[in-house]
Chain A
């Protein structure tokens, strides 16, 4: 991958240039945060995991194979770390329910009507995306925002190509339904 724009930066970082890593963060933080946020659905968790992703990237950059595409590697790490946190959250939620019968629904119990009153069109769409399953949201983001091919998405997520197509189809359908639902509410 000689035309990978990140390659020169990575070489500098390996030689110890921390400023180059700052540039790399600037370049990718938004999309990494987007992937993580669309899986975890909460800003605080997404922020924390995004930080962890970049720290992990920095620490294991020496193991990165320069002939492979950096973004694929970066998105793979971001996806896996976010999914791993999500699984942990789900386990914690079950344990919490079984043990103490208390679950804080702050992040979940948003009033859609109240939201729609003050949110603009973009926020409505984001709301729709937020309602998708983690894999559906990530697959749609990678497919439409980064215009990645099905195979590349499969490499990043570790999900096979036919299941990626299923997630893509379901994602489109569910986002459409979510938007229709919001339209009715409006």
Chain B
């Protein structure tokens, strides 16, 4: 094969161009990906796990505080904080009215959850 034939091959290749698939290829693909989620998607979302965690925490705190009695020093709650040598006295919560206690719990819960909720709204707005 001569050198000049290389240009001829290029001309042929460009002339032949690409092959066209059937028109419904795209629709077929889109139909199939509708059935299958993008990448790994957990059955229970991370948001749900966080909400569940906070809910469990609220329930535990509720049972700790509902008796309106001073927290026993032997409770796990007390021992956990005393382990870190932080002198936290939660008895003020037990002495206060239940509505203030719940409001404080819910407020702290949403305060901690707010970055997650912001992320969630951002994602919804983008999509």
User: B16, B22, B38, B127: which contacts A61 (Cβ < 8 A)?
Assistant: B38
Residues of A within 8 A of B (CB): 13-18, 21-22, 25-26, 29-31, 33-34, 37-38, 46-47, 50-51, 54-55, 58-63, 121-122, 125-126, 128-129, 140-141, 144-145, 172-173, 175-176, 179
Q: Are B30 and A22 in contact (CB under 8 A)?
A: yes
**Which of B7-15, B70-78, B86-94, B101-109 is near enough to bind chain A?**
B7-15
User: A60, A61, A144: which contacts B10 (Cβ < 8 A)?
Assistant: A144
Q: Known interface pairs A13-B38, A21-B33, A173-B1. Does A144 touch B14 (Cβ–Cβ under 8 Å)?
A: yes
Number of interface residues of B (CB under 8 A): 32
Q: For A126, list chain B residues within 8 Å (CB).
A: 16, 19
Complex Cα gap A103–B14 (Å): 35
Identify the closest chain B residue to A171 (Cβ). B9
Q: Known interface pairs A54-B29, A58-B33, A59-B38. Does A176 touch B5 (Cβ–Cβ under 8 Å)?
A: yes
Complex Cα gap A58–B34 (Å): 11
**Which applies to chain B's interface (DSSP): helix, strand, loop or mixed?**
helix
Known: A58-B29, A145-B18. 17 other contacts (CB 8 A): A18-B30, A21-B30, A22-B30, A30-B19, A30-B21, A34-B19, A47-B21, A47-B22, A50-B21, A61-B38, A125-B13, A126-B16, A128-B12, A145-B14, A172-B1, A175-B9, A176-B1
Q: For A30, list chain B residues within 8 Å (CB).
A: 18-21
Q: For A179, list chain B residues within 8 Å (CB).
A: 12
Q: Known interface pairs A59-B39, A121-B15. Does A16 touch B127 (Cβ–Cβ under 8 Å)?
A: yes
* B44 contacts partner chain A, Cβ-Cβ < 8 Å: no
Taking the closest CB of chain A, its distance from the CB of B7, in whole angstroms, is 10
Q: Known interface pairs A33-B18, A33-B21. Does A55 touch B126 (Cβ–Cβ under 8 Å)?
A: no
Identify the closest chain B residue to A143 (Cβ). B13
Q: Are B18 and A15 in contact (CB under 8 A)?
A: no
Identify the closest chain A residue to B33 (Cβ). A58
Q: Are A33 and B15 in contact (CB under 8 A)?
A: no
* B99 contacts partner chain A, Cβ-Cβ < 8 Å: no
Taking the closest CB of chain B, its distance from the CB of A51, in whole angstroms, is 5
